Chain A
């Protein structure tokens, strides 16, 4: 299939999932918030557990049914894996959202806060890649 169309279709599925969560249940599909709610044992988290179970099982189901292989993991070593995970966990909670909560749902609500947050994490990500790949020459 067209390499440009496939990501759009994936995005549409993500959008439909987020829309169903809001229209049916009144919930914002922010993965970092859902994850944080589950690991900090926030009360009333049944829906968060259920969503996470689907999010974790969905890719497995997709690769099994299409007989495709999941992508290989990053080649980064364990120290970078830990540092990056810490920054992503801390940063998304401090920001009150990540790519899904701010990028898909927040912008979906036309929230200026989310638009600015999304521009910031994409910008910071681009600067980081520029420094690590082109200035330091790694990766």
Chain B
């Protein structure tokens, strides 16, 4: 119960608050970071610095354990190698991100504004997820 609901809920709240505080739910701030030849906004870089200052040493410490504190195993990505698939996917993601200024987190974190923009963006994002599943199925 605690591990399946309470802790992830609290972590989600913390994550969402972090996105709001840092201005990441504002597409203008995100596009301002990507606009290196215009009026550059360093906010997103500073968010990454703050986050990595916690995760780099924290993950290293956490993974010294053989299992997580409350559950039986770590669920980690199998490969840490550079391959063409994640690079191609990231290029496609980056184009969408640069066109609009939302990545998945900030789009979801903007839902409670009840504006149509995050709602439509997330619906399209869901369609993209299914499209990707379909493409993977065709490849097999």
Chain A residues with CB under 8 Å of chain B are 4, 6-29, 31-32, 35-36, 39-40, 46-48, 50-63, 70-74, 76, 78, 80-100, 102-114, 116-118, 120-130, 132-134, 139
Task: Name the contact of A82 in the complex, choosing from B3, B94, B120 (C-beta under 8 A).
Answer: B120
- Interface members, chain B 4-33 (any A CB < 8 Å): 4-29, 31
How many whole Å from B115's CB to the nearest CB in chain A?
A: 4
How many A-B pairs with Cβ below 8 Å?
476
A111→B80 contact, CB < 8 A: yes
Given A23-B58, A26-B73, A94-B88, does the pair A76, B20 have CB atoms closer than 8 Å? no
* Interface residues of chain A: helix, strand, loop or mixed (majority): helix
> Taking A15-B58, A84-B99 as contacts, is the C-beta distance between A61 and B111 under 8 angstroms?
no
Rounded to whole angstroms, the CA-CA distance of A23 and B65 in the bound complex is 9
16 extra A-B contacts, CB within 8 A, seeds A18-B51, A82-B120? A11-B47, A18-B54, A19-B54, A23-B62, A24-B69, A31-B104, A40-B130, A59-B19, A76-B100, A76-B117, A84-B96, A89-B132, A95-B89, A99-B104, A120-B91, A121-B94
Tell whether A128 pairs with B95 under 8 Å between CB atoms, given A6-B22, A9-B21, A13-B21: yes
Number of chain B residues close to chain A: CB under 8 A: 116
